[in-house]
Amino acid sequence: MKSALQAVLVSTVIVATAASVGAQSTTPPAPAATAGPIKIGYIDVQRVLARSAAGVAAREQLEKERAGIQKEMDGRRQELEKLRDEIEKKGPLMTADARREKQEQFERKRRDAARAADDFQKELEKREATLLQKVLQEMGGVIERVGKEKNYYMIVEKRNAGVLYATTDADLTDEVIRAYDREAGSKKK
């Protein structure tokens, strides 16, 4: 069991190294050429997105947009409730044609509201992906710089790389957040 786990970890490192080498124009030094032990670190990207200034700002912007959409959807819901109440209260007094017309109007508005809710949800998901992707792209240079400064051979993403165990010393997340926030702060000035 232990050797199978080691084989999985080694293959993960090899795959991550191969992907890194193929994606970058500069390659890290070969293990034999390093002066000391090979250092591998990891970053929890979700924590970076949740705690970095840019990640928090992106989430706040999304929440504002979500609140605006929610306000619009609440207005549609109230309109539907009024129309339903009108049908229930005045329906027996209406002619069959008028009642049928009101019922059709209610159904049309209900379908429109449901479609709008789906469209809004898809738009919010797309907007969230765009904002978070922007943060992740900006973070890439920071991660590379921190890795070079600290002489890391490789830095992986904690969740997607399948990290089964790592010491907290290998966790570079907070350091990357601080460096990213410093860099983002200096760009604003």
pLDDT digits (tens, 9 = 90+) for 47-104: 888 888 888 888 898 899 899 999 999 999 999 999 899 888 888 888 889 889 989 9
Of the candidates 118, 139, 172, 153, the one whose C-alpha atom is nearest the C-alpha of residue 37 is: 153
pTM of the model: 0.57
Encoded tokens for 130: 């765009």
Query: Could you give the domains of the chain?
Result: 2-188 (3.30.910.20)
SS percent in the chain: helix, strand, coil, step 5: 75, 5, 20
Whether the predicted pLDDT of 122 surpasses 90: yes
pLDDT, mean of residues 146-154: 86
Question: Element (H or E) spanning 155, and its range?
Answer: strand 154-157
Averaged pLDDT of the chain: 77
Report the pLDDT value the prediction gives residue 143, as an integer from 0 to 100.
86
Whether the predicted pLDDT of 115 surpasses 90: yes
Whether the predicted pLDDT of 25 surpasses 50: no
Report the pLDDT value the prediction gives residue 118, as an integer from 0 to 100.
93
Report the pLDDT value the prediction gives residue 47, as an integer from 0 to 100.
87
pLDDT, mean of residues 14-35: 43
Residue 47 and residue 82: Cα distance in Å, rounded? 44
